[in-house]
Amino acid sequence: MFSHPKKTDVLKLTTLLAAVGMFGFAASPAAAADDCIARGDLDPIYCDMDGDLVADAPPADQLVDPDTLVFAYTPVEDPAVYADIWEPFLEHLEKVTGKDVHFFAVQSNSAEVEAMRSGRLHVAGFSTGPTPFAVNLAGAVPFALMGGDDGRFGYTLQLYTRVDSGINTPADLKGKRVAHTSPTSNSGNLAPRALLPGQGIVPEQDYEVVYSGSHDQSILGVVAGDYDAAPVASEVVERMAQRDLYDPKEVKIIYESKPFPTTSFNYAYNLKPELIEKIKEAFFTFDMKGTALGEEFKGVSKFLPVTYQEDWAVIREIQAANGVKYTPDNLK
């Protein structure tokens, strides 16, 4: 049966991660792909002989078919909020796969990535920027994201400031204090570094960068006057407004990018093919309309199929422009 992520579950997962070395990336799959001649950016324990940029399935004797599927959602926002929101989908996942499903609230991107790398996490939502780290360090295989009936998906980088700040364009941020979220965040750090120079402002060179830790902390810091501005993900800010966590009338947008892909949903590369097909079936047959999930994520109604090679190309380009290397030390 689907289990709710009680506070003790979070504590148990944190203890488990620490016990197996997850926070330090000490654990690794059973065997390295020593005879692999093509892996691209993948960690040496994986191989990519078919050139699709994700880890190939291991030999048949290394495939896994767990009795219980462990699911986690990106820790960008307070994960406890999503316990009830995800319940209808995870019950559907149970019915389709015939597996027990446990939802665990992870506390950081690195903990989530290493949980999948170590085989303790089987299905997971990784936010946009950390997705390439999950692919290359943990054998995550992106296959779905949330979208609308028309097949559209995505979010934008929005640059916010207070309405009374006197700041009207990105160029006005010279000499200011601007909150970025975390080093690996796409819209909260990497995309601003790649895109804002074209708007007449260079992060760190023209303004002070302060890492807030999350998108919600960035926007709340702007509202409180702790930061002069902040680049954030549009979808996060929209959900915060829906929950009345801040007053949209107190802030304004001074720049908005073109759309990026949203949170990717991934399965672990070493699951049995039959189980992978059931997981995909559960995602692609779930109707969000009328559920808590659909209410939380406005503007989306279902899960849409994606590939890492095609749909994350723009993100890899932004990360390459920032000199990002997919190593544990760079995953924060």
The overall average pLDDT reported for the chain is 89
Residue 27: is its pLDDT beyond 80? no
Mean pLDDT confidence for 188-196? 95
Among residues 130, 93, 94, the alpha carbon closest in space to that of 111 is found at 130
Cβ(260)–Cβ(128) under 8 Å? yes
Lowest mean pLDDT among 92-96, 116-120, 149-153: 149-153
Cβ(30)–Cβ(54) under 8 Å? no
Cβ(173)–Cβ(228) under 8 Å? yes
Q: Terminus-to-terminus CA distance in the chain, angstroms?
A: 33
pTM as predicted: 0.75
Q: Are strands 157-162 and 229-233 parallel, antiparallel or unpaired?
A: antiparallel
Cβ(4)–Cβ(83) under 8 Å? yes
> Tell me, what's the pLDDT at 20?
38
CA-CA-CA-CA torsion for 282, 283, 284, 286, nearest 10 degrees?
80
Kindly state the helix (H) or strand (E) to which residue 255 belongs, with its residue range: strand 251-256
State the pLDDT confidence band at 18, using cuts at 50, 70 and 90.
very low
pLDDT tens digits, residue range 123-144? 999 999 999 999 999 999 999 9
- Percent pLDDT > 70 in the chain is 88
> Tell me, what's the pLDDT at 107?
84
DSSP of 32-64: --TT-S--TTS-TT---TT-SSSPPP--GGG-B
pLDDT tens digits, residue range 228-278? 999 999 989 998 998 899 999 999 999 999 889 999 999 999 999 999 999
